[in-house]
Copies of this chain bind each other. A is one copy, B any other.
Amino acid sequence: MQAVTIKTLATTLNLSTATVSKALSNSYDISEETKLRVRKLAEELHYVPDLYASSLRKRKSKTIAVVIPEVADSFFSQAINGIESVAREKGYHVLIYLTHESYEREKAILNDFQSGRVDGVLISVTAETTGAEHIRELTDKDIPVVFFDRICDEIDTAKITTNDYEGGYIATKHLFDCGCRNIALLSVSDSLSISNQRMLGYMQALKDCSLIFAEDNIIHCTQNELNNYALLKKIMMRENHPDGIIATVEKLTTTVYLACRELGLQIPAQVKIVSFSNLQSAVLLYPPLTTVTQPAYEMGNAAAALLFKGLGKKKFDYKKESLIIPSLLEIRSSTAG
């Protein structure tokens, strides 16, 4: 004999499995009449609930997940500290999952959360992520998701970001004020909202400074360091090479510095550099690096606080709870006039 499942009951009664499940657990969402019909049939067919699945669903894991591209980046390691300081206070475990910028991995990880392994998710998506279905599948199952830094515009949930547009703008404007007239932007993704915002800020600043936007001053880097190094050397060997560079990702800083050093280009005399970076050693580099410093700790902290605010509440509208925390331009010798 086939086992009687929720599906059997649902099909026989022409109801959804969700309705049957709710009826069996005496949910206030379901009318008394429906509850009676469901219970009667369940009794007739000797329906036995699947204890394992039911326990798993009801069980709170007291755990939240943090899904990020990597940890070898000061922004993320500082954001994690901000997240953990809140989680610790609430008595929650924090699990960190790395996507290594792979969309496939991100999907696999989020898929794993559907089993109820975690109570909520904080995520900064990969540079490859183009869809949002894998995230929607979680929010549809009432597993709350809060974005920080790298968001998906398509998903309507809480988002903690920094002012990336203004970051791109002030970095560009600063280079202009220091004398740069041929400013390049290094980017690692065409799909990431933060990359696009920084680029839009860059373009607006060029316009406001009456500089012409040149397509080939947008330099598309990849996850491959050696390729980036070769690409940068090629660009900096051009006769009219950029006199100002904005690295929109921290790890590109090393590549830019090394390429300039290899070519004998003086920073800041021949090329000035600004980096979106939270590197603590920025001040120790030769020359010390001008940075757009993101409020990494604060963003992690705010994202976690927001997630916990909604956890365990029956009705909590994450959509209404977004926050933008501003970045800071820290001027050092790499852009000296």
Give me the interface of A with B, judged by CB distance under 8 Å: 51-52, 55-56, 70-72, 74, 76-78, 80-81, 84, 88, 93-98, 100, 105, 109, 112, 251, 253-254, 257-258, 279-281, 283-288
Selected A-B contacts with CB under 8 Å, 17 pairs? A51-B51, A52-B52, A52-B56, A70-B77, A81-B100, A88-B105, A94-B98, A95-B97, A96-B97, A253-B281, A254-B280, A254-B284, A258-B283, A281-B281, A281-B285, A284-B285, A285-B286
Assuming the A-B contacts A96-B98, A97-B94, A285-B284, are A80 and B84 also in contact, with contact meaning beta carbons closer than 8 angstroms in the complex?
Answer: no
Q: Report the Cα distance A253→B51, complex, angstroms.
A: 55
Residue on B nearest A72 in the bound complex, by CB: B77
Q: Report the Cα distance A77→B76, complex, angstroms.
A: 11
Q: Report the Cα distance A287→B84, complex, angstroms.
A: 35
Number of copies: 2
Of B71, B88, B96, the contact of A95 (CB 8 Å cutoff): B96
Chain B positions within 8 Å of A251 at CB level: 280
Distance in angstroms from A107 CB to nearest chain B CB is: 13
Chain B positions within 8 Å of A105 at CB level: 88
Assuming the A-B contacts A71-B71, A257-B284, A281-B281, are A95 and B95 also in contact, with contact meaning beta carbons closer than 8 angstroms in the complex?
Answer: yes
Of B88, B112, B279, B287, the contact of A281 (CB 8 Å cutoff): B279
Chain B positions within 8 Å of A96 at CB level: 71, 95-98
Q: A94-B98, A254-B284 are in contact. List 13 more A-B contacts (CB 8 A).
A: A51-B51, A51-B52, A52-B55, A71-B77, A95-B95, A95-B97, A251-B280, A257-B284, A258-B284, A281-B281, A281-B285, A285-B286, A286-B287
Chain B positions within 8 Å of A284 at CB level: 254, 257-258, 285-286
Distance in angstroms from A79 CB to nearest chain B CB is: 10
Chain B positions within 8 Å of A279 at CB level: 281
Q: Are B100 and A84 in contact (CB under 8 A)?
A: yes
Distance in angstroms from A117 CB to nearest chain B CB is: 8
Distance in angstroms from A7 CB to nearest chain B CB is: 19
Distance in angstroms from A109 CB to nearest chain B CB is: 7
